[in-house]
Amino acid sequence: MLTCKQVSNALARKDYAAMSPLERLGLRIHIALCAVCGRYNRQVMIMQDAARAFRRRENAQIESSGACLSCCDKDAIKNAIRQRR
Amino acid sequence: MPDLPPDASAAPPVADPDTWVDAYGDYLYRYALMRLRDPDAARDAVQETFLAAIKRYDQFDGRVDIKFWLRGILRFKVVDHIRASVRDQVVTPIEDTEILDSLLFRASGIPTMRPSPWEFNPQEAFDRAEFWPIFEECLDRLKEPIRQAFVLKMVEDLESDEVCKVLGITPNHLWVLNHRARTQLKKCLESKWQRK
């Protein structure tokens, strides 16, 4: 049986979705049943879900963003590349 | 017709820097800006990416879109920039040592047994496209190095050890930064998403 500390440390180290199915199962069972760390670690997992969803959506987000390099910046970069070739 | 060497047809076309900058410059710039927040640093990172790409072009095997290959190089440049900016930052002492020293944290690795519940259903919000610009806005509001820690660990998905090395901090300090990032992000998201 896992301890709260093991569960918390594992979640601090890595995204629960990246763990092995067995690790994930142990973690989920502990968090579902634990009165001490269950609530807090469930929120840690929610933020991991958010970050993962953000990563997935980021491409669309980037495509729709208005920020862009100015013409001067682009020309400067092109020049730098030409000099280097 | 002369015989071509067997790999000649598979070789990618010669890089034309002008088309690269026009085709991928803005995309890479936005990617860098989201992570570095500083337009000058983002522009520099993009330039360094193209220069590194020219040098390493023979390593490009065409298996991924060149855009993503460039983005892969940019990732390293972004981390380099964060590492360099941290060197100039005044090291802030950990203010949350009381959490780290608390009996609860030392026994179970958590700061509180009763965190306040989310004011909205986060999983439902994650499925809505309108949620993500708000998420990015809230992420932008975090102070450094809280934001940097979150970006490296959660967005770039780097290993904790790696994040600690880049930021020059201990695992406990990283934990505090991520705890603060979670708390502040949640608070910001709640205030902005509620009003929708």
Segment 46-75 of chain A within 8 Å of chain B by CB = 46-51, 53-55, 57-58, 60-63, 65, 67-69, 73-74
What is the distance between the alpha carbons of residues A2 and A7, in angstroms, rounded to a whole number? 7
Please report which residue ranges of chain B form alpha helices under DSSP H: 17-36, 39-55, 66-88, 97-101, 103-108, 122-126, 131-141, 146-150, 160-167, 171-194
pLDDT in tens, B26-81: 999 999 999 999 999 999 999 999 999 988 888 888 888 888 899 999 999 999 99
Nearest to B157 among A44, A47, A55 (CB): A55
Segment 10-29 of chain A within 8 Å of chain B by CB = 12-15
What is the distance between the alpha carbons of residues B14 and A76, in angstroms, rounded to a whole number? 21
pLDDT confidence bin for B11, thresholds 50/70/90: very low
Global ipTM: 0.86
> What does pLDDT average to over chain B?
87
Q: What is the mean predicted confidence (pLDDT) over A55-84? A: 83
Alpha-carbon torsion B127, B185, B73, A67, what sign?
Answer: positive
- Tell me the residue type at B56: R
Cβ neighbour number for residue B46 with a 10 Å cutoff: 29
Of B31, B28, B44, B81, whose CA–CA distance to A55 is shortest? B31
